[in-house]
Amino acid sequence: MALNLTQKIIKDHLVSGEMTPGAEIALRIDQTLTQDATGTMAYLQFEAIGLPRVRTELSVSYVDHNTLQMGFRNPDDHAYLRTVAAKYGITFSPAGTGICHQLHLENFARPGRTLVGSDSHTPTAGGVGSMAMGAGGLSVALAMAGEAYVIAMPKVVKVNLTGRLTGWATAKDVILTLLGIMTVKGGVGKVIEYAGPGVATLSVPERAVITNMGAELGATTSIFPSDAATKAFLTAMGRPGDWVELTADPDAAYDEVIEIDLSTLEPMAAAPHMPDRAVTIRELAGMKVDQSCIGSCTNSSYADLMAVSEILAGKRIDPTTDLLIAPGSKQVLKMLAAEGRIDPMLDAGARILECACGPCIGMGGSPVSGGVSARTFNRNFEGRSGTQDAKVYLVSPQTAAMAALRGEFSDPATWGEAPARAELPENAPSIRHLFLTPPADGAGVEIKRGPNIAPLPPFTPLAATVAAPVALKVGDDITTDHILPAGAQITALRSNIPAISEYIFSRVDAEFVPRIKKLGKGVILAGDNYGQGSSREHAALGPRYLGVVAVVAKSMARIHRANLVNFGILPLLLADKADYDRIPAGAEIAIRTGDITPGGTVAMTVAGVGPVAVKNDLTAKELEIIRAGGLLNLVRQARA
C-alpha cells in the first residue's frame, strides 16, 4: 500500500495501535529535547521514575528561556539541569549557546527519526524530515524512560506547494498564509505534510520556519520530505552521515489537500492578537512601528539574518524605532561575524541580543505602552511581550527590518530589490564542542539542588464523586499565557510548584487564587479552544495544585488537554455548547466519576440549573491515568 511520509515514519515506530485516524497509537521515541523552563519539571519527573540513565538514542537539555540569571533562581535551575544531564546521560546545552529548536535542527535532528520535546515548537525539526512533536514535560520524562509516546493517529493534510517564492515573499509568508486559510484550530489531530514541486525550491531553514509555526495551527506536527536540500543542509552542518532520503510514495493518499502557489505570495503579517489573523503588509502601510524584534526559534537562521544585514547595510533605523536582533545560535552568530555581517546591523542602530529566546518569552525587549511591535516570532498573544496593551504583528525578518528603517509598515512595492537568499557556507563553523557530553557512567555525579528546586507535590487519586463550584468562568481562546503568564519573574519559579501557582490566571482574574484556596477545590468552565498556545505543563500543574478537579469546556487544545490528563484533571466537553450560557460562575457542580466511560457522556448536576450532559474524548488509558491522580502515580504504581 502506498504510504505518505507521516505514515512511513509512524509505521517504523509503531509499538501498538492501528494506523486509522483517531485510533490510539503508541510510538517508539528516538530523541527528546527539553528547554529550561519546562525541563526542570521534566527531569524532576524523570528522577521520580527511578531509572539510572535515559533510554533514548539521544536526549538534549537546552537552556534558552531564562538565561538572564537575575537572582539565584535561574542559576539554581541551570546547575540542576547541568548535573541531572551528566548523571542520566543527557547532552547539555548551556545558556547562550542558542535556541533549542535552532540548535536541534543544526546539530541533532535526523530525517525519519521521532522526537518529543517539552516545547510546543519542537515540530521545527520537521524541516529535516524528523517527526517531531511538542509534549508536556511528563511525556518527555516517560519517553526518556523508554516508554512509548501515545497519541491519536493523526489525519494527514497534504500542502501541495507549486511555483517558487519571488520578490520579498518568504517562508514566513507561506505559513502566515496557511494560518489564514486553516486558522489556529485547523490543524488539530492532523499532521501537515508538505509536498509538490515547490518543496525543492525551499532550503531546510526555510522549511523549518514553516514547520515551526505549524504549532500555531494546532497540528500534531508538520513535516517536509528529506531530499537533496536536506542533504546539502546536513552536509553544511558537518553531518552528512545523518542524511537518508525520505519521501511520500507517489500515489500516497491524504485526508485533505491544500494548494499553495508560492509565486503568488506577498509579505504578510499576523495581526494582534492571534497568529491566524493574516493580513498583507500592503494593507498595513502607514502604520507606525515602535519596535522591531528579529529572532526566536521561527526566524533566526543564518539566511534570515544575512537578509536583515543586507537590508540594513549603510542605513540607519528610524530614530523613533528600536531594533533588537537575537541570532538563533552561536553558529549563526559566528558565521555572521566571520563574514562581517554584524557590523551593518550595529551601524544601523540595532541591538544584538544573546543567542536565546529573549523577547519572545518576555525576557526583556518589551515594547512601549500601547506600541506596535513587528516581530519575527510565532506568537502574538496579548501581554506575551511584557507590555499588556502593546500590539504585536508577526512578520518576516525582511519586513521587520524594513519597518525598523522606515519607522512604519510600508508597501513592499516601494522597498526596491529584495536581498538574495543566502546559501549556507560550505564549511559552516561547528559549535559542537560547546555541548556538554555526559560521562559514560554518571553514577558518581552529584545533583545540585538549590532552594529554587522544590520537590513535586503529591496528588491524590480521583474521588468517586467530584463536587466543586465553578471557581472561574472564562470565554473562548483562553491560551496557556492566560492560565499562567510568561515573563522573567514567573518563569523563574517553574521548578517550584507552590510558588508558581500564585500566578495562575493572575492576569485574567486576580481573585482566582485566593478564591480557590478558600474553596479548596473548583471547576473551570471555558469556551472554545481552551488551553491553546504553549506546551507548558505548569498551566495544568498549577491549577491541579490549587485544587482544580475538572475543566468543562466547549473544546480544548491538544497539548493542554494531554497535560490536564497527565496531572489528573478531568477534561470534559459540553455535549451541547449552548449549555455554557446556562451555567453561572460559582454554581455547584457534582459529577459521579465512576460513571465516566471512555468517549462516553454523563450528566453532571449543576445546582440551580439541573443536569447538564458532558462528554469526553478520553481513551481507557487516559481515564486510568486520571483515576490514579495523574500519570506519575500510575507509572509508580506499575513499577512498585
Query: Given its phi and psi angles, is residue 176 left (phi above 0), alpha (psi -120 to 50 degrees) or beta?
Result: alpha
* Helices and strands: H and E segment counts in the chain: 21, 26
In terms of CB distance, is 101 or 482 closer to ligand F3S?
Answer: 101
In terms of CB distance, is 89 or 327 closer to ligand F3S?
Answer: 327
Q: Strand, coil or helix: what is 75?
A: helix
In terms of CB distance, is 119 or 382 closer to ligand F3S?
Answer: 119
Query: Could you tell me if 321 and 292 are in contact, meaning their C-beta atoms sit under 8 angstroms apart?
Result: yes
Which grid cell is 232?
546539502
Query: Could you tell me if 416 and 409 are in contact, meaning their C-beta atoms sit under 8 angstroms apart?
Result: no
Q: How far is the CB of 466 from ligand F3S (least distance, A)?
A: 35
Q: How far is the CB of 97 from ligand F3S (least distance, A)?
A: 13
In terms of CB distance, is 393 or 545 closer to ligand F3S?
Answer: 393
Cell 522597498 -> residue: 415
Q: How far is the CB of 107 from ligand F3S (least distance, A)?
A: 15
* CA angle, residues 32, 298, 79, in degrees to nearest 5: 45
Residues forming contacts to ligand F3S in the complex (CB under 6 A) are 35, 64-65, 99-101, 119, 121, 296-297, 357, 360-361, 378
Query: Could you tell me if 292 and 372 are in contact, meaning their C-beta atoms sit under 8 angstroms apart?
Result: no
In terms of CB distance, is 298 or 398 closer to ligand F3S?
Answer: 298
Query: Given its phi and psi angles, is residue 365 left (phi above 0), alpha (psi -120 to 50 degrees) or beta?
Result: left
Q: How far is the CB of 242 from ligand F3S (least distance, A)?
A: 22
Torsions phi, psi for 34 (to 5 deg) = -135, 155
Strand (E) or helix (H) holding 472: strand 465-473
397: CB partners within 8 A, 6+ apart? 170, 172, 294, 299, 304, 305, 307, 308, 376
Q: How far is the CB of 64 from ligand F3S (least distance, A)?
A: 6
Nearest Cα residue to 519 out of 508, 527, 511: 511
Q: How far is the CB of 108 from ligand F3S (least distance, A)?
A: 15
Helix axes 137-144, 631-639, angle to 10 degrees: 20
Nearest Cα residue to 143 out of 16, 280, 11, 29: 29
In terms of CB distance, is 362 or 571 closer to ligand F3S?
Answer: 362
Q: How far is the CB of 34 from ligand F3S (least distance, A)?
A: 11
Q: How far is the CB of 82 from ligand F3S (least distance, A)?
A: 19
Query: Could you tell me if 69 and 78 are in contact, meaning their C-beta atoms sit under 8 angstroms apart?
Result: yes
In terms of CB distance, is 175 or 297 closer to ligand F3S?
Answer: 297
Cis amide prior to 273 (ω within 30 degrees): yes
In terms of CB distance, is 89 or 275 closer to ligand F3S?
Answer: 275
**How far does CA 575 lie from the centroid of its chain?**
29
Query: Could you tell me if 354 and 63 are in contact, meaning their C-beta atoms sit under 8 angstroms apart?
Result: no
In terms of CB distance, is 356 or 453 closer to ligand F3S?
Answer: 356
- How many Cα atoms sit within 13 Å of 316 on the Cβ side? 3
Q: How far is the CB of 92 from ligand F3S (least distance, A)?
A: 17
In terms of CB distance, is 4 or 93 closer to ligand F3S?
Answer: 93
Q: How far is the CB of 99 from ligand F3S (least distance, A)?
A: 5
Q: How far is the CB of 323 from ligand F3S (least distance, A)?
A: 18
In terms of CB distance, is 134 or 542 closer to ligand F3S?
Answer: 134
